[in-house]
Chains A and B, each alone.
Chain A
Amino acid sequence: MIETILSGDRPRSRVLAGLLLALLAALALAPLVFPGTRPLDVAAKVCVFVLLAASYDLLLGYTGIVSFAHTMFFGIGGYGVAIALSRMEPGWGAIALGTAAAVAVALALSFVIGLFSLRVKAIFFAMITLAVASFFAILASQLSGFTGGEDGLTFKVPEILRARRVAYYFVFSVSLVLFLALLRIVNSPFGRVLLSIRENEFRSEALGYRTVIYRTLANCLGAVVAALAGVLYALWLRYTGPNTTLDFAIMIDILLMVVIGGMGTMYGAAIGAAIFVVAQTYLQEAMQSLSGALKGMPLLPELFHPDRWLLWLGILFVLSVYYFPRGIVGQLRARTP
Chain B
Amino acid sequence: MSRIDWKPLLLALVVLLGALLLVQNPSTWLTLTIAGLAMGLLIFLMASGLTLVFGLMDVMNFAHGLFITTGAYVAASVMRRLAGPAEAESLLANLGAVVPAVLAAMAVAGLLGFFFERVIVRPVYGQHLKQILITTGGMIVAEQLIVAFWGPEQMALERPRALRGAFIVGEMALEKYRLAAVVVGLAVFAAMLVLLNRTRIGLLIRAGVENREMVEAMGYRIRRLFVAVFVAGSALAGLGGALWGMYERNFTVQVGAHMMVLIFIVIIIGGLGSVGGCFAASLLVGLVANYVGYLSPKIALGSNILLMVLVLLWRPQGLYPVGRQ
Contact = CB atoms under 8 A, between A and B. Distances in A.
B260 A314 contact: no
Nearest to A198: B129
Contacts, number: 99
Contacts of B304: 131, 135
Given A130-B260, A132-B305, A248-B257, A122 B140 contact: no
Contact of A127 (B120, B131, B257, B264): B264
Contact of A130 (B133, B261, B272, B312): B261
B265 A122 contact: no
Interface string A296-325: 000100110101101101110110011001
Contacts of A138: 301
A100 interface: no
A270 interface: no
Contacts of B54: 123
A131 B264 contact: yes
Given A139-B302, A311-B145, A318-B134, A122 B264 contact: no
Contacts of B144: 308, 310-311, 314
B54 to A, nearest CB: 8
B136 interface: yes
B51 to A, nearest CB: 11
A154 to B, nearest CB: 25
Interface in B135-151: 136-138, 140-141, 144-145, 147-149
A314 B137 contact: yes
B301 A139 contact: yes
B228 to A, nearest CB: 23
B128 A305 contact: no
Given A311-B148, A317-B137, A318-B138, A131 B305 contact: yes
Grouping DSSP codes into helix (H, G, I), strand (E, B) and loop, the B interface class, with mixed when no group exceeds half, is helix
A322 B301 CA distance: 37
Given A122-B128, A134-B261, A303 B148 contact: yes
A259 interface: yes
Given A135-B301, A305-B148, A310 B129 contact: no
A318 B62 CA distance: 13
Interface in B298-316: 298, 301-302, 304-305, 308-309, 312, 316
Given A131-B261, A307-B152, A321 B130 contact: yes
Interface residue range, chain B: 35 or more
A87 interface: no
B132 interface: yes
Contacts of B137: 314, 317-318, 321
B234 to A, nearest CB: 18
Contacts of B152: 307
A317 B305 contact: no
Interface in B107-160: 120, 123, 128-134, 136-138, 140-141, 144-145, 147-149, 152
Interface of B: 54, 60, 62, 120, 123, 128-134, 136-138, 140-141, 144-145, 147-149, 152, 257-258, 260-261, 264-265, 267-268, 272, 298, 301-302, 304-305, 308-309, 312, 316
8 contacts: A66-B133, A116-B312, A122-B128, A128-B264, A139-B302, A255-B136, A302-B148, A317-B140
User: Which 10 A-B pairs have CB atoms at the shortest separation, nearest pair first?
Assistant: A311-B144, A314-B140, A318-B137, A314-B141, A127-B264, A317-B137, A302-B148, A123-B60, A134-B261, A66-B132
Given A124-B268, A135-B261, A318-B134, 11 more contacts: A60-B129, A66-B132, A126-B60, A128-B268, A130-B260, A130-B261, A135-B301, A135-B304, A307-B147, A318-B141, A321-B137
